[in-house]
Chain A
Amino acid sequence: MSKQTKFPMGIDSKKISGELFTLTYGALVAELLRDLESPLAVNRQLDKMGYNIGLRLADDLLAKNSQIQRCTDMHQVADVLAKVALRSYLGENVLESVTAQVSNWNARNDEFSLVLESNPLAEFVEVPSELAQDLRYSQILCGAIRGALEMMHMEVQTFIVQEQSQSVEIRVKFIRILQESVPPGDD
């Protein structure tokens, strides 16, 4: 992934059709459901894939947004996640941009919710009712946030609190600062 210079010619260098993205993700979830049978196993796999993506996105984000400073508390972390990270990686709709609201801080200020009002992963998507109880369709987002923050030496827990047709609420809980760890590799 190191070659940043060679973007495909012709297309608006760094954007791709949101629908292609949505449907590709849908193809992945459908395949996982076929392969793994249990929705809980699908959640786990999506989380793992998200984690791998997050590890790499963290570098990408920092390389392209030099204005981001070192975060000293979770409020700053939440701000960067909501206003920069989700916005640049889940794309900007021409009409409305995807941003997340940060809310529901707990008393110790180490736990918050990210609420995405329009979740680009879930456009066109209707989860059948027999799966709706267990399947976390957008679980990959949790994995990505966890992976990205781990690259910043922060261990967090992430899970989906609720997921309605177009909105998703992700809970992020700070666990500890990771000291001098070897950067996690692939898989």
Chain B
Amino acid sequence: MQRVGSGKQGSILDKSLSRGKSEVNFSTFALLFAEMIRYANNRSNTVSDLQDKLLGYGKFVGSRLLDVIVLREKGYRRETKLLNMLMFVKGTIWKNLFNKEADKLERSNDDPCQYLLIEKEPIVNTYISVPKDKGNLNCASFIAGIIEAVLEASNFPCKVSAHWHDGTTYIIQFEKLVIARENALLELTR
């Protein structure tokens, strides 16, 4: 019996990359995602455990998506400037995933290492009713994981978390060295 990826078929790398225009029904995704949350919920004790698991799933997706999107949309050129990178996430990545841009990108006033990406209605929260005892659970942690993986793989180490604020806000907390590097880069070009 021949199985996935067995010898005769050749490796998956021999196939040409699809153009990425395929779409699936939203119901299918929503139900699959709900099953994943249910599974993760059964295996975690606290809300933050669960959010960590969702973040993990998102990172799995994000780290794989980045290469595909950069190759398709940008001819394999990566962004090196922080602002461009953030705009790339807000624009290109979001368009590839959800067919629209994220709503807002803001820089925190108090902390130069903190940026906020705001989305009024993340689709992963559309059908999820959060039980009362898990008040601050936000299934957009999954998307936070995607953002985190994309930024980290592009050498902007950071932590991303999802919060209920103004819809859903993804708080992107960069490591200090990212901001220091960015400032040094600005000095150079001045």
Residues A3 and B127 in contact in the complex (CB < 8 Å), given A8-B121, A24-B57, A120-B22: yes
In Å, the complex CA distance between A130 and B164 comes to 43
A26 touches B60 (CB 8 A): yes
A93 contacts the other chain (CB 8 A): yes
Residues A9 and B22 in contact in the complex (CB < 8 Å), given A23-B60, A24-B36, A28-B57: no
A27 touches B22 (CB 8 A): no
Q: Which stretch (B25-33, B79-87, B110-118, B171-179) binds chain A?
A: B25-33
Q: Which of A21, A88, A122 contacts B4 (CB 8 A)?
A: A122
| Across-interface contacts of B99 in A (CB, < 8 A) | 10-12, 15, 17
B18 touches A123 (CB 8 A): yes
In Å, the complex CA distance between A114 and B67 comes to 34
A182 contacts the other chain (CB 8 A): no
Interface residues on A, range: 35 or more
In Å, the complex CA distance between A162 and B6 comes to 12
B154 contacts the other chain (CB 8 A): no
Number of interface residues of B (CB under 8 A): 51
Among B1-53, those with CB < 8 Å from A are: 1-6, 9, 11-12, 15, 18-36, 38-40, 43, 53
Q: Which residue of B lies closest to A14 (CB)?
A: B26
Among A105-155, those with CB < 8 Å from B are: 120, 122-129, 132-133, 137, 140
Q: Which residue of A lies closest to B121 (CB)?
A: A8
Interface string of B40-76 (1 = CB under 8 A from A): 1001000000000100111011001100100000000
Interface string of A144-171 (1 = CB under 8 A from B): 0000000000000000001111000000
B109 contacts the other chain (CB 8 A): no
Residues A20 and B12 in contact in the complex (CB < 8 Å), given A89-B28, A91-B25: no
A6 contacts the other chain (CB 8 A): yes
Q: Which stretch (A49-57, A72-80, A172-180) binds chain B?
A: A49-57
Interface string of A31-71 (1 = CB under 8 A from B): 11001000000000100010011001100100000000000
A93 touches B12 (CB 8 A): no
Among B122-155, those with CB < 8 Å from A are: 123, 126-127
B3 touches A17 (CB 8 A): no
Closest Cβ of chain B to A163, distance in Å, is 6
B3 touches A88 (CB 8 A): no
What would 28 A/B residue contacts be, using CB atoms closer than 8 Å?
A12-B23, A14-B25, A15-B23, A15-B26, A16-B29, A18-B20, A18-B22, A24-B36, A24-B61, A27-B56, A27-B61, A28-B57, A30-B60, A31-B40, A53-B31, A57-B31, A89-B28, A91-B25, A94-B21, A123-B18, A124-B12, A125-B5, A126-B4, A127-B4, A129-B6, A132-B4, A133-B3, A165-B4
Q: A15-B24, A164-B9 are in contact. List 14 more A-B contacts (CB 8 A).
A: A1-B34, A11-B98, A16-B25, A17-B23, A19-B22, A20-B29, A27-B60, A28-B35, A45-B39, A52-B31, A91-B25, A126-B4, A132-B5, A133-B3
